[in-house]
Structure 1
Amino acid sequence: MSEIEGWADFVETELPEFIRAYFDRSFGNAYEPYSTDQLETYRQKLNSHSSAASRRNAEFGDKYSTALKYYKGFLESKLFKGKVKISRMANECASSAQAKGDKVTRNRKSQIEDPLCPSEDSYGKSYTEGTLQQVSITRHERNAKLRQACLKHYGAVCQICGMDFEKTYGHIGAGFIEVHHIVPISDQDGEHDVNPIIDMIPLCSNCHSMIHRGANGSVLTPDQLRELIEANKSNG
């Protein structure tokens, strides 16, 4: 079994039981539309190293916290067609049709159906799922030393909004922050040089998510995101 298949199997079988045992008894199966913010909260608790859950995680070489990271990343990726993304796609289709002068039908049966929010006539029906598919991907290797060098220079504080997890959440937030590549690593053609001070920046989870929501899938610059924050402060 490949490494990817191994992690997928772990997320589907072991991780839900771990979450139900330590965090949320009502947690269902993997790949349901859970809040990725909640998954990030679980990761932060595991990183605190002060609970039964974090001790179990440490015993297994941080496998549960790593699985949570992969799980959250998958739910936020283009591979996962969650409710929000389907709704957004429907709105984009409608806007595109209106821009072209096409008639956008309001007929209920002709609208794009959200499988996570089914129509009334779909209740009571049975469906099938679980078809096995083999997936091959190419990923960009990340260098942990770059993250360390970036945080050594800037500290674990968001460089856009000033969020400091330790000040907000106490000891469980100590050292927690995400690091953003100003030029996305996915846009690079293989191995390349990276300056951890010029090319990287620590961001909180919110700012990191928002900086990737530029027009047409583009990535905003830090200055552009700061301008949006300031503009909305004045509008408030």
Structure 2
Amino acid sequence: MLDRLSETDLAERYKNNCGTALRAYLRFLGQEQPEFRYPEEISNPEGYSEGAKKQITVNSYERDRQARNRAIEIHGLDCFVCAMNFESMYGEIGIGFIHVHHLIPLHTIDNLYQVNPEKDLVPVCPNCHAMLHRSNNPPTIEQLKDAMQKQKSI
């Protein structure tokens, strides 16, 4: 393409007028009509690349481990949504494992506050926790339980 461009008088004719030169160049490119694809549209049947490092910035909200532990003492280690217990499911490796969910999302409070482990925190398994955080309008524990029961009855 560069060879063909050098055979034209575009550079000399438009050297002092960038806008006109750009329009002429775009018309020139239009003659070629190359197939254009975005990188994500190109499939690679040979394999998939992962692992590139990128830097991101996020807000992280502090959590109090003692509040988490107290919530587990109060509520136990069974998921509030699906009742899964990691020790029952996986044995020794699952002892004491559970996520703890804030019923009021911390990002909506956006400030330091006194958490009540009995009323504000509940144990949930990682899958249910992910579903509780899946949308901007998250379901309640009861809504997610109902959705699971509905699916089980199908």
TM-score normalized with structure 1 length: 0.43
Counterpart Cα distance in 2 of 1:168 and 1:222: 21
Counterpart Cα distance in 2 of 1:185 and 1:231: 29
Shift of 1:155: 1.0
Counterpart Cα distance in 1 of 2:100 and 2:57: 27
Q: Which residue of 2 aligns with 1:222?
A: 141
Unaligned 5+ segments in structure 2 are 1-34, 47-51
The ranges of structure 1 where at least 4 consecutive aligned residues each deviate by more than 3 angstroms after the TM superposition are: 112-115, 135-138
Counterpart Cα distance in 2 of 1:137 and 1:119: 31
Q: Are 1:181 and 1:200, in contact at CA under 8 Å, matched by a contact in 2?
A: yes
Cα distance change on mapping 1:168 and 1:119 into 2, 3 Å: same
| Total equivalences in the alignment | 115
Counterpart Cα distance in 2 of 1:187 and 1:228: 24
Please state which structure has a larger fraction of its residues in helix.
1
Render the CA deviation track for 1:171-207: whole Å, top value 9, x for unaligned. Answer: 1100000000011112212101211111111001111
Unaligned 5+ segments in structure 1 are 1-107, 124-128
Shift of 1:109: 5.6
User: Percentage identity across aligned positions?
Assistant: 35
Coordinate RMSD, CA, aligned: 2.7
Shift of 1:113: 5.4
Cα distance change on mapping 1:145 and 1:213 into 2, 3 Å: same
Residue type at the aligned position of 1:119: S
Cα distance change on mapping 1:211 and 1:109 into 2, 3 Å: farther
Residue type at the aligned position of 1:226: K
Q: Which residue of 1 aligns with 2:80?
A: 159
Bigger relative contact order, structure 1 or 2 (CA pairs below 8 A, ≥6 apart): 2
**1:192 matches 2:113:** yes
Q: Are 1:140 and 1:185, in contact at CA under 8 Å, matched by a contact in 2?
A: yes
Render the CA deviation track for 1:39-62: whole Å, top value 9, x for unaligned. Answer: xxxxxxxxxxxxxxxxxxxxxxxx
Q: Which residue of 1 aligns with 2:126?
A: 205
Larger Rg: 2
TM-score normalized with structure 2 length: 0.64
